[in-house]
Amino acid sequence: MFVVSKKKEEKLAHLVREFFATHPDVKLVAITGSAGKASAKIAIGTVLSQQFNIQLSEEEPKTKADVFLQIMGIRAPQKKLFAWWKVKRAMKKRIKAKNPEIQVIVQEFNPQELGYNVWFRDYLVPDVAVLTSVTNGRMQVEYSLEEVANEMVSLANYSKQAIINRDDIEGRFAGFLTNPNITTYGSSSVAEYSFDDHNFSLETGHHGLIISPENQDGLEVDLKLIGEHNVRPAIAAAAVGYAFGMSDLAIKTGVEKLRPLPGRMSLLRGADQTWLIDDSYSSTPLTALAALQSLYKMEAPQRIAVLGNMNGLKGIFQQAHAELGSYCNPDLLDWVVTVGEKANQHLAPAARQKGCQVKECRTAIEAGAFVRDKLKSGGIALFKGSSGGVWLEEAIKINLHSIEDEKRLVRQEPQWLARKNDFFSQFK
């Protein structure tokens, strides 16, 4: 992490502002929201890359300085010695370049506190802002949902154009929007940009039409994605593509290249002709509910939901886990497997009260072994949980058809594996 003082942070901001003033043809797409930012970022970047030279960082920005470095396409120095001097020199070089080569910058904004997005207003004016969702799950639940909504919406309000997720933002927050140039995207036809789903299968994904003001008859596409909440980033990407004047063919080519990010509703083959849905990257009430809804719609002789702690919820963790448990449907689930103290204490009892068969597990290893024993041929197991103390990707490992697919799981780098080994060793 490249950490700088507030004074140097403002210096970075002025340099970025100078870059856009010097290169007015370079466009900025800004993405914010409580959840779904990374998927939207990659989807938008993939579609725009069919016609433009784009720049994006796959890494989540941790600080305001990270945002500026990513916008400028500069890697943070690994060594502290002369770090500031090196960054400043690299940024000035980008500013002075006669031809920046990059035509569109796709940048994630990741608010950690109130006022984060507004702070950038004096330095950046995004050409398009995409707002993916509003929930208090990602801002440590230190603020009210109304405060979180104001924070997320602020970026849309000072952008030239805003594209808003109609599905995952409550209608009551519409009054927070002051930007007159707003369009919406979502799964249903009430949004200007939507998806008319004609057919879905685990093997081929979703087949249907992207409906838009530019193409009322619909753009026929095949999306190799699972679940409505994974389709929405594709719709957002199409909306941004149309905003930049892209052709139907270019947009179609882009969205059909999309694949789930690791740990985000990624479909894997399990042992003994089973299916595994890897949604282990993180978990919030919004994304966990969406994952369950997707599982319910899948045709299969057996469904198992492995649900781990939703971390970072602080004061509402009990209520949030209980509500997720109450959404577990015994008619649509053969087993609910809970992992972690919070899930075991609050989610598991609520699921039992609904009539579900529930297995409580202390660790992902225990949960993975249980699923391996219970999951039958043709069955589907969903793995949804947070990182710290849950690590459901390790439960998935136990159930994979091929060891090669371990490469597709999240948090497999040596430092992560060492951290997880230390955690699991407590339970031996």
Beta-strand ranges (E) seen in 114-214 are 128-131, 162-165, 182-185, 194-201, 205-212
CA 117 to CA 304: how far, in whole Å?
39
> Quick one: CA dihedral 336, 340, 343, 348, positive or negative?
positive
The mean predicted confidence, pLDDT, of the chain is 93
Place of tokens 């799981």: 409
The pLDDT, as a whole number, for residue 81 is: 63
What does the pLDDT average to over 159-182? 92
The answer to whether 211 touches 189, Cβ cutoff 8 Å, is yes
When pLDDT is cut at 50, 70 and 90, the band that residue 141 belongs to is low
User: pLDDT tens, 209-235?
Assistant: 999 999 999 999 999 999 888 999 999
The pLDDT, as a whole number, for residue 390 is: 95
pTM beyond 0.85: yes
Amino acid at 150: N
The pLDDT, as a whole number, for residue 289 is: 94
Q: Which residues contact 108 (CB under 8 A, 6 or more apart)?
A: 31, 32, 37, 38, 41, 57, 60, 61, 67, 70
CA 218 to CA 213: how far, in whole Å?
9
CA 386 to CA 142: how far, in whole Å?
19
Classify domain 6-255 at the CATH topology level: UDP-N-acetylmuramoyl-L-alanine:D-glutamate ligase (3.40.1190)
CA 264 to CA 59: how far, in whole Å?
15
> Quick one: CA dihedral 394, 398, 400, 402, positive or negative?
positive
Ordered by start, the domain boundaries in the chain are: 6-255, 266-427
Q: Which two tokens stand for residue 246?
A: 């892209």
What does the pLDDT average to over 129-135? 92
> Quick one: CA dihedral 136, 141, 147, 151, positive or negative?
negative
Q: Which segment of 124-128, 280-284, 350-354 scores lowest on mean pLDDT?
A: 280-284
User: pLDDT tens, 2-39?
Assistant: 778 899 999 999 999 999 999 999 999 999 998 889 99
User: pLDDT tens, 45-98?
Assistant: 999 999 999 999 999 999 999 999 999 999 887 777 678 888 999 999 999 998
The pLDDT, as a whole number, for residue 45 is: 98
DSSP SS3 for 74: coil
The answer to whether 362 touches 427, Cβ cutoff 8 Å, is yes
DSSP SS3 for 269: strand
Q: Do domains 6-255 and 266-427 have the same CATH topology?
A: no
The pLDDT, as a whole number, for residue 19 is: 97
- The CATH class for the domain spanning 266-427 reads alpha beta
When pLDDT is cut at 50, 70 and 90, the band that residue 244 belongs to is very high
CA 283 to CA 186: how far, in whole Å?
21
